[in-house]
């Protein structure tokens, strides 16, 4: 088996990625496919933690734009991430992968409260940890929550699973001339305003020296972990196209 480049990673998945071909909610076959990818990473010896968005159930920014008070809308979005985290946990444990869901908002009937040292211990014991409810604060996205947890857990990389196989100069779905970057710097991502993650998340990863690896969930995580598959790495000061 090919050696993984990273010992511990945080996998960030958008809520929309769990919809499959639907327009709303959770598509169980899609969740199961993600769970199999996480299991494959564990079988490579990689310690894995996850952050899952909630946009397939509720989008706080959209509701705030429609007139809902922003903090309330964001808290509702956090609750949606807990629902997704429980769905992913169910699929992982059906595959025999020991999993813990830890929420930044306490709800002890369904998951553990987030405590950093306890989360680290779970990872050391080989469990997959799913971080839910973002940072626990409104006005922060799950991208920022993912960057924060990656730093707190001492992750070697933040893996972002998307619908395309990396970062492009433009949207490859609408621009046939768009070209993919093999590597790009944090600064260039911000300067080009590439919609990889929000600026706070990019800044957090840059300050902590955590590379962001963008790959396609359809291709699977194994190639991105070993460097063999198509993906883009955000990090360092130079970029190559």
In a domain, 1, yes or no: no
Residue 3 lies in a domain: no
27: in domain: yes
Cβ burial 192-223 (10 Å sphere, 16+ → b, else e): eebebbeebbbebbbeeebbbbbbbbebbbbb
Question: For residue 227, is it within any domain?
Answer: yes
Rounded to whole angstroms, what are the CA distances from 192 to 15, 23, 209? Answer: 25, 30, 20
Q: Which domain holds residue 22?
A: 8-234
Residue 64: per-residue pLDDT: 76
Q: Which of 63, 91, 68, 80 is nearest to 133 (CA)?
A: 80
Q: Quick one: pLDDT at residue 241? A: 44
pTM: 0.93
Q: Tell me what pLDDT residue 39 has.
A: 97
Counting the structural domains of the chain, the total is 1
**CATH label of the domain that carries residue 147:** 3.40.1160.10
pLDDT at 63: 79
| Closest to 101 measured CA to CA, from 149, 143, 33, 141 | 149
**Domain annotation covers residue 2:** no
What pLDDT does 1 receive? 58
Query: DSSP secondary structure string, 93-113?
Result: HHTT--EEEEESS--TTTSEE
Q: Looking at the domain assignment, is residue 240 inside a domain?
A: no
pLDDT of the residue at 240: 43
- pLDDT tens for the 241 residues of the chain, in order: 578 999 999 999 999 999 988 888 999 999 999 999 999 999 999 999 999 999 999 877 777 778 889 999 999 999 999 999 999 999 999 999 999 999 999 999 999 999 999 999 999 999 999 999 999 999 999 999 999 999 999 999 999 998 889 999 988 888 989 999 999 999 999 999 898 899 999 999 999 999 999 999 989 999 999 999 899 999 975 444 4
């Amino acid at each position: 088996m090919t050696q993984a480049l990273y010992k511990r990673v945080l996998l960030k998945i958008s809520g929309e990625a769990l919809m499959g071909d639907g327009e709303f909610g959770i598509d169980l076959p899609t969740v199961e496919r993600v769970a199999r990818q996480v299991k494959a990473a564990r079988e490579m010896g990689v310690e894995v933690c996850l952050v899952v968005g909630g946009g397939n159930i509720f989008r706080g920014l959209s509701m705030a734009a429609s007139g809902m008070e922003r903090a309330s809308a964001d808290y509702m979005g956090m609750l949606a991430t807990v629902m997704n985290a429980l769905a992913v946990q169910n699929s992982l444990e059906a595959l025999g992968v020991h999993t813990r869901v830890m929420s930044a908002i306490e709800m002890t009937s369904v998951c553990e409260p987030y405590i950093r040292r306890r989360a680290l211990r779970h990872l050391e014991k080989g469990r997959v940890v799913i971080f839910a409810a973002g940072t626990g604060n409104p006005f922060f996205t799950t991208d920022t929550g993912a960057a924060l947890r990656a730093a707190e857990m001492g992750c070697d990389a933040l893996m972002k699973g998307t619908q395309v196989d990396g970062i492009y100069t433009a949207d490859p779905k609408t621009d046939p001339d768009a070209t993919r970057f093999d590597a790009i710097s944090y600064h260039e991502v911000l300067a080009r305003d590439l919609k990889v993650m929000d600026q706070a998340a990019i800044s957090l990863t840059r300050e902590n020296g955590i590379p962001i690896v963008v790959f396609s969930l359809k291709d699977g995580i194994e190639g991105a972990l070993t460097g063999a598959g198509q993906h883009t790495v955000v990090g360092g000061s130079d970029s190559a196209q």
